[in-house]
Amino acid sequence: MKVIEHIKQAKETIFSFEILPPLKGQNISAIYNSIDPLMEFNPPFVNVTYHREEVVYKRLPNGFLEQKTIKKRPGTVGICAAIQNKYKIDAVPHILCGGFNKEDTENALIDLDFLGIENVLALRGDSMKGETYFVPEKDGHAYARDLVSQISRMNEGKYLDEELQNSTPTNFCIGVAGYPEKHFEAPSINNDIEKLKEKVDAGAEYITTQLFFDNQAYFDYVEKVREAGIQVPVIPGIKPIATKKHLSLLPHRFNVDLPDALVKEVVACADNKAVRQVGVEWAVEQSKALKAAGVPVIHFYSMGKVDNIKAIASAVF
Ligand code: FAD
């Protein structure tokens, strides 16, 4: 079933979460171990991230460096199929512009369609390590908006080859990303929201937000999004802070501000066990307030820390 249908049918706020494919070499039980403990909270869908290839350097015996392009976390599509098969819930694969040309995208979508996957989160992806700006593939998409358009066209039965006869329409519900504190490349929040509207006009049916630690940032964002004429659901994304290192890593990687009160509490912690407790309590308060405000879904970024998400969900759902 489509995410948007789950939202329409739900009588109260839905619990959902995102998982990462395991590092290459691990088996599918690593995924099941991060889903099993959360099934008691009845997630109707689970997102699975996509990780594009990375350039790595290996030093050779002669001192030269060998450049290799590898995927450290392959398996998104297989994991989605396994989740739908084992848990009978919907999987939402993330699909990127980065690393795909239009033909690759079309073929990936055909695979997903054949597997009975009805949802995708359409994203641009970040620049490759070592590149300052995102560089699309030759004949690939530069912005998520254009990826959304391609998926929407396939939903109308329009494939790249216009001469295809009797082509079957796909039936994907398309989600896109939104940034309450602005995407780091956008010149202003209003400009970012204008671009967000282009994604919705191209066929996106809901928005999932980047993580945030101050609910006011989300509420203000939703207000601006509505003022811009965007009517689709805006799903808040929550991640509990878990280590002292997160104080610098999260703002750097996700362009988010941490409220002073949270920073002070984390700084005062004796160790990361105490930080984890602070992070869980903060996320519980955030989630309770979001639920009280009637948000459609609370989407948790688990990043492999399933115990933290379970502790939060136990207090909220
Ligand atoms: P876009 O919507 O294309 O926007 C990118 C930037 O370009 C923004 O600054 C926007 O304002 C600007 N822009 C958009 N359209 C135009 C235009 N027409 N002209 C000029 N500027 C424009 N990354 C992964 O690699 N794998 C994942 O699985 C993954 N999952 C994610 C899940 C969520 C919920 C979120 C919020 C992010 C996720 N990301 C993931 C990160 C994401 O790929 C990056 O944030 C990326 O930098 C932007 O992706 P986007 O889809 O928001 O891009």
Query: Cβ contacts of residue 108 below 8 Å, gap of 6+?
Result: 77, 95, 100
Q: What's the whole-number mean pLDDT along residues 88-110?
A: 98
pLDDT bin (cut points 50, 70, 90) of residue 109 is very high
pTM for this one? 0.97
| Ligand 1, atom 11: closest residue by C-alpha | 192
pLDDT bin (cut points 50, 70, 90) of residue 130 is confident
241-281 pLDDT, tens digit per residue, is 999 999 999 999 999 999 999 999 999 999 999 999 999 99
Q: Name the average pLDDT for the chain.
A: 96
User: Could you tell me the distance, in angstroms and rounded to a whole number, from the CA of residue 217 to the centre of ligand 1?
Assistant: 18
Domain count, the chain: 1
| Ligand 1, atom 2: closest residue by C-alpha | 144
Residue 45's domain is classified under what CATH number?
A: 3.20.20.220
**How wide is the angle at C-alpha 9 spanned by C-alphas 7 and 15, nearest 5°?**
50
The C-alpha atoms of residue 195 and residue 183 are separated, in whole angstroms, by: 11
CB neighbours of residue 161 within 10 Å: 10
Nearest ligand 1 atom to the CA of 183 is: 9
195-222 pLDDT, tens digit per residue, is 999 999 999 999 999 999 999 999 999 9
User: Could you tell me the distance, in angstroms and rounded to a whole number, from the CA of residue 3 to the centre of ligand 1?
Assistant: 20
pLDDT at 69: 87
pLDDT at 232: 98
137 is in which domain, residue-wise?
A: 3-316
